[in-house]
Structure 1
Amino acid sequence: MGHFEVVKTLDILIEHFFWPHMKRDVEIICSKCVTCKKAKSTVKPHVMYMPLPVPNEPWTDILMDFILGLPRCTYFIPSRKTDDATHIADLFFREVVRLHGIPKTIVSDRNVKLLSHF
């Protein structure tokens, strides 16, 4: 099971358990979770962000991200949250490289799926 915030953790627990002061106990546990604190750190990186250059040709420089709620005009490849890096790489080659060739650069967030085997 992953690391959830108080509300989601309570929702899951309430389905199966009850004890007095359950909300208070969950709040205390979540406030002490080291993994959650690292994931939700407010420390800003010490790197200056630079704007991306405007590409000279289409599909030579691409951006990859795992997001929801895209507008219809956006080119997207459906995938599942549970897809591993190998499957994402297969999708990339089947849907992007096959149609447009290998890009010179790929800009992405530091998603685990993109950093592992991709």
Structure 2
Amino acid sequence: VGGHSGFPVTYKRILPLFRWLGMKNFIKSQVQSCLICQQAKPERVQYPGLLSPLPVPSKAWDTVSMDFISGLPSSYQYNCILVVIDKFSKYGHFMGLTHPFNAQKVAEIFLDNVYKLHGMPRLIICDRDPIFTSAFWKILISRTGAELNMSIAYHPETDGHTERVNQQIECFLRCFISAHPAKWSKWLSFSVSSGTTLTGILP
């Protein structure tokens, strides 16, 4: 058993395994009437104005965007998520944090989970969170040779991709652990970021 990622993905996953009369319309109807999706998924509204997207990076993990998801219930001492997304491959890392935390703690988690696997990115995109505007964080970034590019509020052309992934993570967690919200930290390893799609597998 597992979750679905909308009609097209669900239909393609079922098509090689089963066939029956009216299968496509049946799957579409089931997905559109999914009670869990209606309860958990946020409303989509078109963002006004023209977008000015950033240049496409030349290689993977050359440019990353970072953000926090806070306000979560405590789960095995964690109550916050650090999200790091690669702008080229669209893959990301989701790391549990305990609030309150400081820039040094965020730097340690970043080095242990991102730097050791992909090296130091050339450009880091983030919002103006106090952690990212702190003197320690700026010195750390400058010493490693990376460039810090901070956005302003509601600018999807800078960190909009990360904000979209944040929505998907929250939706994923609501769908799969709504009955046990204190266990969300155990499900981060089941989250796979690819573009704007998050999939989860039930054990």
TM-score (norm 1): 0.51
1:76 to 94, 99, 120: 94
Q: State the SS of the aligned residue for 1:88.
A: helix
Structure 1 residues 10-65: Cα deviation after superposition (integer angstroms, max 9, x where no partner): xxxxxxxxxxxxxxxxxxxxxxxxxxxxxxxxxxxxxxx84222112111100000
For these two proteins, the number of residue pairs brought into alignment is 68
Please, which of 79, 90, 100 is the counterpart of residue 108 of structure 2?
A: 90
Query: 2:129 maps to what in 1?
Result: 111
Which residue among 55, 59, 62 is the counterpart of 1:53?
Answer: 55
Task: Measure the CA separation in 2 of the matches of 1:97 and 1:75.
Answer: 11
Percent identity, please.
34
- Report deviation, 1:74: 4.7
Greater strand content: 2
SS at match of 2:124: strand
Measured in 2, the distance between the counterparts of 1:74 and 1:103 equals 13
1:28 aligned partner: none
Aligned residues: CA RMSD:
2.3
Normalised by the length of structure 2, the TM-score is: 0.30
**Any conservation in 1 of the 2:65–2:126 contact (CA below 8 Å)?**
yes
Distance 2:58 2:107 in 1: 25
Opposite residue 111 of structure 2, the aligned amino acid is: F
Structure 2 counterpart SS, 1:76:
strand
Question: Who wins on radius of gyration, i.e. which is larger?
Answer: 1
Residue 101 (str. 1) matches residue 119 (str. 2)? yes
Tell me how far apart the structure 1 counterparts of residues 99 and 68 of structure 2 sit (CA, whole Å): 9
2:95 match: secondary structure: coil
Match of 1:65 among 58, 64, 67: 67
Q: Output the CA distance in 2 between the equivalents of 1:88 and 1:52.
A: 25
* Cα distance between partner residues in 1 of 2:97 and 2:55: 28
